[in-house]
Amino acid sequence: MSKIYLSAKLPELGTKLLEDAGLDYRVYEGEGLISKKDLIEAIADCEILICPLSTQVDRDVIDAASNLKLIANFGAGFNNIDIAYAKEKKIYVTNTPVVSTNATAELTAGLIISLSRRIVEGDRLMHDQGFDGWAPLFFLGHELKDKTLGIIGMGQIGQALAQMMNAFGMKILYHQRHALSAELAKKLQVTYCSQEDLIQQADILTLHAPLTAETHHLLTSETFKQMKDSAFLINAARGPLIDEAALLQALKTGQIAGAALDVYEFEPQVTEGLKELSNVILTPHIGNASVEARNQMAEIVAKNAIALENHEPIKHIVNGLD
């Protein structure tokens, strides 16, 4: 019987599936995130590691578990795992794609609305000194109707966001390596353009690209100089897509009007200075933090563990092992 280690607690649905299948598992019960030392000690005799994005699984960790057969990552991304080394060791690495699409798109839409209408800023004001009453020029924000939304990365999340924001009457531009089919672009009411044109035209720029060597620091000081000084930036994808030092400077000097971040370049640390800016919204990586999405993610990792035990096909393998 496979020995399974969970480096973080799962939604109850996931552990119940493991229990119902009669699988032996242990869960990290410590405070905060598991340390590398504790992880190495815990998985010495394990065949399956179920871990969240916050658990770093490098060569040292992989080498510490000579019986390891599966690393089931609880998240759509897998940058926390050395997938090439896992492949070399013939260890399956899986993720939980698609199921977080709607939740992440909804959060992005919420950040767009909140930033444009200064909702979080207004909440802070009311929790602090309050206000003197309604006035014609007080606390003005911007409507989304007829504004241009620029989406970099038109995968599942980008497409879901486009469908949502069409309801607000926005003009939607997108860029990625390959254009969508004409039929799908028409259905989503989106227009393909170059990244440079998108950056220059967008009233709101939102990132939904994967983190690769090519997309690291996709947005830099030069990028911010090309944006409208009235533009807002949203990042609910991967933190290192943005050079945050350059972003901080752009916000301070008025090169762009504001930003909303759910992910960070040096996560969980936030670049010094961003917290002090009133035109910045910061959320703690909650893109797919909905009960519905996390339950579906738990179901995927648990069912992959069960499939390995039963010698059945494993789904969502990301490191090329068949």
Q: Is the pLDDT of residue 1 over 60?
A: no
Q: Does a structural domain hold residue 75?
A: yes
Shared domain for 71 and 106, answered yes or no, is: no
Q: Supply the pTM of this predicted model.
A: 0.92
Are 65 and 86 in contact by the 8 Å Cβ rule? The answer is no
Shared domain for 248 and 169, answered yes or no, is: yes
Q: Report the CATH number at residue 175.
A: 3.40.50.720
Q: Is the pLDDT of residue 312 over 90?
A: yes
Nearest to 11 by CA among 302, 303, 286: 302
267 is catalytic: yes
Shared domain for 20 and 52, answered yes or no, is: yes
238 is catalytic: yes
Shared domain for 199 and 227, answered yes or no, is: yes
Three-state SS at 24? strand
Catalytic residue among 121, 142, 217, 267: 267
Say what the pLDDT of residue 111 is.
Answer: 98
Domain hosting 141: range is 101-282
Shared domain for 123 and 264, answered yes or no, is: yes
Catalytic residue among 175, 208, 238, 316: 238
Nearest to 260 by CA among 273, 274, 249, 240: 274
Catalytic residue among 117, 142, 217, 285: 285
The predicted-structure confidence for 253-286, as pLDDT tens digits, reads as follows: 999 999 999 999 999 999 999 999 999 999 999 9
The predicted-structure confidence for 59-85, as pLDDT tens digits, reads as follows: 999 999 999 999 999 998 898 999 999
Please tell me the total count of domains within the chain. Answer: 2
Say what the pLDDT of residue 79 is.
Answer: 87
Shared domain for 269 and 121, answered yes or no, is: yes
Shared domain for 154 and 230, answered yes or no, is: yes
Shared domain for 116 and 210, answered yes or no, is: yes
8-state DSSP, 322:
-
Shared domain for 124 and 249, answered yes or no, is: yes
Average pLDDT over residues 191-204: 98
